[in-house]
Structures are given as structure tokens and as C-alpha cells.
Structure 1
């Protein structure tokens, strides 16, 4: 039979192992599951906001000739776009014709370009919204290097169940994403610190504390792991 000292050592070892597992598992969980969940939530919320903006704009946009065309985009409508862009912190906004031609863009250089990408022709043109989170310093769906963290959303405009054009809206989520990252990082650091404190207490606690712990374990399912 093991001596009391040997049993105490096994108890301390078990506590150290549990503390180490917690210290490793919680940050891994944050990175693998919690942070992606926050990222997806941020994406969905931003997509919903883009949808509300697009629906409002399309309600003000007269659609003639059965589709959105350049004549539908008046100077008054452009002023409304520019106002909403400031109020809703939209960093870029475009209006597409059904064939993918850019009829309006907050970046004038893009006007006249044609979006021939698969996601536009096979998803947006079929009446489905399409959203992607673009991390800063990476390429957007249009192959542009983006300097900020953004959510890029395409919202189709439908009239009588027909695709008549689309809006593309870029939202800056840099600050929101940084706050979420900070929150996840702080929670992970706190757990690691608490685990280290717990391990230190296990190592340096006196025999009296260990004896109380062992008395409790005599009547627990863990007894078999501590006593031969």
C-alpha cells in the first residue's frame, strides 16, 4: 500500500494535470470555436444591415426598361447615396445592372466595369445575397487589396420575381473585430493566469490542505486514480 506521502504526491500531480489541461484547452476552444462564432455573428449582423440599406435604396430607385439602367440613377438619388454612405459608415457602394456592369460606384474608376465572377452570375443574379468577410491586407471578391477589415455584401434587386440589378456594399468592421479579438484574448489570458495560480497553490500548499483534499477523495470516483 502506498504511503500517505506518495498518495499526496499523486493528488498534487492530478491537480497539476487538470490545471494544465484547462490552461491549454480553454484558449484552444476560444481560437477554434468561440472566435469563429463571433466572426460569423458579426458577418450576419452586418449582412442584415446591408440588406436593410439596399431595400431602402431600391425602394427609391425607379426601375425603367425592366432593369436598373444609368437613367434611373439621378443626381438626387446619388446625393441620397452619399448621405447614407456617411450615416451608415459604408466605405464603398456600387449599383450593378443585371449583366454585371457597374452603373454607379463611390469609386468613380469602377464605373463601366463588368463583374463576370461566378458568384455574381450564379448566386447574386439568381436572387440570392452573397457576403464575405475580407481581412485587412487581403484581396476582396473583386481582387482588390483591402486596407481594412470589411464585410463585402451583394444584395440582388428583384422586381416581380425578376433580377433587375444589385447593390454591393462594403462595411468597415475593423474596430468591431478588434474589440472581439481583444475580448477573446483577455478571457484566454485570464484562464491561463488562474490555472497558473491554481498550480502554484497545489505545489506549495501544506500537507494539512492536501490531507483535507484526500479525505474528500476517499468517497469520490477519483479514488481509484489516487490510491492503488
Structure 2
């Protein structure tokens, strides 16, 4: 029984695991577009902006070496040679445009002449850039830049402060057109999207197929589990309960007896002269006799009675809610059915008889499994000793020995039910 429960628990755990895998696949398939739009795309753009800021810092560092040469008494002034140098640097560093500011925000140089002489009075310039901090802003296409202009490009504006001995002397404003980079990123992400969509579709189909396949595997496993339970609880030859499963059931009923004092009886019987059957007709015929005997026993007893093979040619029957008289009636009915049955094997018709020992739990001193079965076994021994083909009821009075070594004790304690 424990084997079946463990197998069932294992199957349930595996089914749960497959269901979780299927759920995860579906969540990934549905959530991928959401994750991309809310996390992956912004992360890529942020990376582009960070790389652009690094480029701007390197460009500003190089340009600063030239610009500070025009510094007079801590104030910037842009010479024509410096203007020429900056214009060349714009080409070298692929700048869209650039500006150079003095320490108070005045534009000293701009790629657009109209900006020269204007003053940047914005808070970010004086509160961040003038304090030595780099200030970077992404201006998306058709948005307003820091200059107040609407740009038709995706632009990154980077303010890089110029510092000498810790003093702020001015700043560069460098503009980078990143439209091509964003377009390349979007093209790449579209390819990734298509691949993810394909993989998600495959994953969903795979999960569905796994679910169907696993359902079939589950069915096979459950069938195999039933086979294992059959192997663990049933006798292979007769397909009735084996000794271990019978005793497990008997223990359960004995607990009920201890609690409610409900009647309980057993019948222990075996085939008379079974060795003669095997020696005369062969072991295959003997196996056929045992199989047919088990079938007749099951057909004769009640639906709630338990028939089991106890070992060799010995069988045992559990009779719940049955006392002394009822158990003897059933035993005699079975004895008569076997005596009048024709056992047809493949080559022979064999006539057999059985001897039966009956015991009722209420008549057993110190009632437990071992004592109950021993009482039935002693009664069976008496039936064999007294001529076979009969039912014997074994009653164990207090102080009476039930050892098979004492025939006198058996004769005094046994009541024989005649044919």
C-alpha cells in the first residue's frame, strides 16, 4: 500500500512541475513584449546616452587643452585659431554642433553664429555645470532642446565643465546626433522581437505538446502503479490477496474489534492430500486446482469477506461482523461446494476435498492476530487429524494448551461440525 501512495505522490509532484513549466512559458511569451517596451528598449537607449556622454567627455578634454591657451587672467577668450581648431574637432568627433561658454554662461563660440553673445541663465547651468558636474540630456525627435528649438533628430546634449585648479572657467556644450544609433538599435530589437515571438510560439506549442504527452505518460504511470499495487497485494497464481495484505487488513479489523467489540472470525483451510495431486497429475495440474479453488471460494463467500492465499495449498478467509455460528455455516457451505465441484485441468478431472479450521475472536484468549490465526490453525490441525474433509471450530478456554504436540488438548477444546 505504501508503494502505491509513494508512486502516486511522485506522479502528483511531477504533474505540478510540468504545470509550473507551462505557466512560466506562457507568462514569458505574454510578458516579453511588455518587458521589452518598459525595460529593454529604455535600457538600450540609456546605454547609448551613457556612451555618448563618455565620447563627449573625451572630446571636451582634448578641446580644452586648446581653449585654455586663450585664457587671460582666468577668463576665456576664443581666438580665430581656436575657432578653426574647434570646427575641425567637430568633424573629428562627429559633433552635430557645439558651443563654448564662459564662466558666467556667455556663449563665446557656437556652430551657429546667432548664438554667440547670448547668455545661458538656466538653473542647470549655474547649479550643476558651474559646480563641475557633467549635465546630459536626451532630446528625442520632434522635441524641444535646451536651446528652446524643436529638433528633427534624436540628439544628446552634453555640458562638460572646464576646470583649472578647481575653479570653473567655462563649459562645452556638445551635441551628438544619435538618430542612426537609435535606428540601428530599433532594427536590431525588431529582429530580436521576431525571434522572441518565434521562440515564444514554439515554447507555447512545446508546452502544450508536453502537457498532452505528459498526460499520456501520467496515464501509463498510473496503470503501472496499479500493477505495482497488484503485485504487492495479490497472489500471482490465484490473483487473490496474499498473506501480507491479508494480515494488514486483519490488523485493521482487530482495531475495530478492540474499539467496538464487533464480531470477527476467520477460516483457515487447505487441500486434503495435495501432495498426492502434485505427484500424480503434475505441478501444473496442482496449480490449476489452486486457481479453481480460489475462484470457488470467492464465489461462495459474501461480497465483504476477504479470501487470501496464506501459503502453498493453504487459504484463509476473513469474515467481518461474523460470530461462531455464522462462520461455521459459511465454512460448511464452502466445504460442500469444493467436495461437489469437478476440477477440470488441461488433461484431467480431479476430485478434491478440503479441511477447514474456524476461529472467532470473542472465543480467543488474549485476542490478537497471532492468537486468532493460531486458534484457526489448531482447529484445522484437528480437522486433518480427525479424518479430513470437515469443519472444525477451535475454542480456546482459559488455561487450555493449544499446542499441536498435545492431541488430547485439541480433542478437548475442539467442536467438530459434521458433514
**Residue 96 to residue 208, structure 1, CA distance change in 2 (3 Å):** closer
User: What's the CA shift for 1:16?
Assistant: 6.2
- Residue 50 (structure 1) aligned with residue 56 (structure 2): yes
User: What's the CA shift for 1:185?
Assistant: 2.8
User: What's the CA shift for 1:214?
Assistant: 7.5
User: What's the CA shift for 1:17?
Assistant: 4.6
**Residue 111 to residue 210, structure 1, CA distance change in 2 (3 Å):** same
CA distance in 1: counterparts of 2:43 and 2:79, whole angstroms: 41
Greater shift, 167-176 or 198-207, is seen at 198-207
**Residue 51 to residue 203, structure 1, CA distance change in 2 (3 Å):** closer
**Residue 74 to residue 17, structure 1, CA distance change in 2 (3 Å):** same
**Residue 213 to residue 19, structure 1, CA distance change in 2 (3 Å):** farther
What are the Cα deviations for residues 111-152 of structure 1, in whole angstroms up to 9, with x where unaligned? Answer: 111101110011001111100111111011221111111110
Please report the TM-score for the alignment, with normalisation by the length of structure 1. Answer: 0.79
CA distance in 1: counterparts of 2:103 and 2:140, whole angstroms: 28
- Residue 87 (structure 1) aligned with residue 95 (structure 2): no
CA distance in 2: counterparts of 1:119 and 1:206, whole angstroms: 59
SS state of the match for residue 68, structure 1?
A: coil
What are the Cα deviations for residues 155-211 of structure 1, in whole angstroms up to 9, with x where unaligned? Answer: 111111111111100011111111122222322232222222343455578965752
SS state of the match for residue 116, structure 1?
A: coil
Please report the TM-score for the alignment, with normalisation by the length of structure 2. Answer: 0.45
**Equivalent residue number for residue 65 of structure 1:** 73
Count, aligned residues:
205
SS state of the match for residue 96, structure 2?
A: strand
Q: Which of 131, 136, 139 does residue 136 from structure 2 map onto?
A: 131
CA contact (8 A) 1:15 1:199 kept: no
Q: Which of 83, 91, 97 does residue 102 from structure 2 map onto?
A: 97
RMSD: 2.7
CA contact (8 A) 1:19 1:196 kept: no
**Equivalent residue number for residue 281 of structure 2:** none
Higher gyration radius (CA) = 2
CA contact (8 A) 1:11 1:214 kept: no
Q: Which of 29, 38, 42 does residue 36 from structure 1 map onto?
A: 42
Q: Which of 86, 100, 109 does residue 114 from structure 2 map onto?
A: 109
**Equivalent residue number for residue 28 of structure 2:** 22
SS state of the match for residue 136, structure 2?
A: strand
Greater shift, 15-24 or 96-105, is seen at 15-24
5+ long unaligned stretches in structure 1: 1-9, 217-228
User: What's the CA shift for 1:37?
Assistant: 1.8
| Greater RCO, CA 8 A, separation 6+ | 1
CA distance in 2: counterparts of 1:23 and 1:214, whole angstroms: 29
**Equivalent residue number for residue 193 of structure 2:** 188
Structure 1 residue ranges (4+ consecutive) displaced by more than 6 angstroms after TM superposition: 10-16, 213-216
